[in-house]
Amino acid sequence: MKLLDLIKEARFVFVCGNGGSAANAEHFTNDLFSKGIKAICLNSNVSIMTMIANDYDYQEVFQRQLEVYANPKEDLLITISCSGTSLNVVNAIDWAEMNGMKHFEFETFRYDKDYGKLEDRHLVLIHEIKDEL
């Protein structure tokens, strides 16, 4: 199923990332919202993220939010990560898979480990998706 279809069919779209990918996740969430899509960026609420990091573990900052907010059968998780190995992102994907939640993972490093180039490609994809909605 294409990403556009997944987005259109979801009750809520949850997006997350770290560093520059966190900024892209926020940007993507704004773009989705501007098109009438119910979207939540899991890395935007600093007080919740720091509470989870402090009381549990930073590796759980996205997973714990999904446990509270998500309806796995109706929602979509989109992860934006250059490396694809950050445990907080991996744990969110694992939780989604274990609970039957659809998810889409933006392209991660293959050959060239240039964060800037990959983050730029992610942003181009974000804008292409917005234009198609």
| CATH (domain of 49) | 3.40.50.10490
- pLDDT at residue 108 greater than cutoff 70: yes
Residue 77's contacts (CB-CB under 8 Å, 6 or more residues apart) are 14, 15, 16, 66, 70, 92, 93, 96, 101, 102, 103, 104
pLDDT of residue 1: 60
Confidence of residue 124 (pLDDT cuts 50, 70, 90): very high
Average pLDDT score over residue span 66-74:
98
Q: Tell me the average pLDDT of the chain.
A: 96
pLDDT score for 113: 84
Domain total in the chain:
1
- Whether 34 shows a pLDDT value over 90: the answer reads yes
- Domain of residue 43: give its range: 3-132
